[in-house]
Amino acid sequence: MNELPEEFFANPTWHALHSKHRKFAKCAGDACRYPADVGPFAAIRAPEIGPMLQLHSLFEAGESAWIIGEEYVEVPGLVREETLKCLQMVLPDGVSVPDTEIEIEMLSDGNADEMVTLTTLAFPGFFRQRTCEMGSYYGVRSPSGELIAMGGERLKLDGFTEISAVCTHPSFRGRGLAAAIIWRLVREHRKEGVVSWLHVASANRRAAELYLRMGFEEIREVILHRISRVD
Q: What is the mean pLDDT of the segment spanning 186-213?
A: 96
**d(Cα 217, Cα 155) in Å, to the nearest integer?**
18
Residue 12 makes CB contacts below 8 A (sequence gap 6+) with 68, 155, 157, 162
Burial of 48 (0-12, 13-18, 19+ CB in 10 A): middle
pLDDT at 2: 60
Q: What is the mean pLDDT of the segment spanning 186-190?
A: 97
Q: What is the mean pLDDT of the segment spanning 30-46?
A: 98
Residues paired with 225 in a beta bridge: 67, 83
pLDDT tens per residue across span 117-168: 999 999 999 999 999 999 999 999 999 999 999 999 999 999 999 999 999 9
Give the chain's domains with CATH numbers.
6-86+224-229 (3.40.630.30), 89-221 (3.40.630.30)
**d(Cα 111, Cα 74) in Å, to the nearest integer?**
39
Residues paired with 78 in a beta bridge: 229
**d(Cα 68, Cα 84) in Å, to the nearest integer?**
9
From residue 10, give the alpha-carbon distance in Å to each of 16, 46, 55, 167, 168.
12, 11, 18, 25, 29
Q: What is the mean pLDDT of the segment spanning 214-221?
A: 95
CA distance between the termini of the chain: 47
pLDDT band at 3; cut points 50, 70, 90 = low
pLDDT at 7: 77
pLDDT at residue 84 greater than cutoff 70: yes
Angle formed at CA 228 by CA 41 and CA 17, multiple of 5 degrees: 20
Q: What is the mean pLDDT of the segment spanning 87-95?
A: 95
Contact 38, 116 (CB under 8 A): no
**d(Cα 112, Cα 150) in Å, to the nearest integer?**
12
Q: What is the mean pLDDT of the segment spanning 103-128?
A: 96
Amino acid in the structure at residue 162:
E
Phi first, then psi: give them for residue 85, nearest 5 degrees: -90, 130
pTM over 0.85: yes
Which of 215, 231, 228 shows the shortest CA–CA distance to 90? 215
**d(Cα 180, Cα 182) in Å, to the nearest integer?**
5
Question: In what helix (H) or strand (E) does residue 122 lie, and over which residues does it extend?
Answer: helix 112-122
pLDDT at 85: 97
pLDDT at residue 57 greater than cutoff 70: yes
Helix (H, G, I), strand (E, B) or coil at 9: helix
pLDDT at 180: 97
pLDDT at 6: 81
To the nearest 10°, report the CA torsion of 112, 87, 227, 136. Answer: -20
Angle formed at CA 196 by CA 114 and CA 118, multiple of 5 degrees: 15
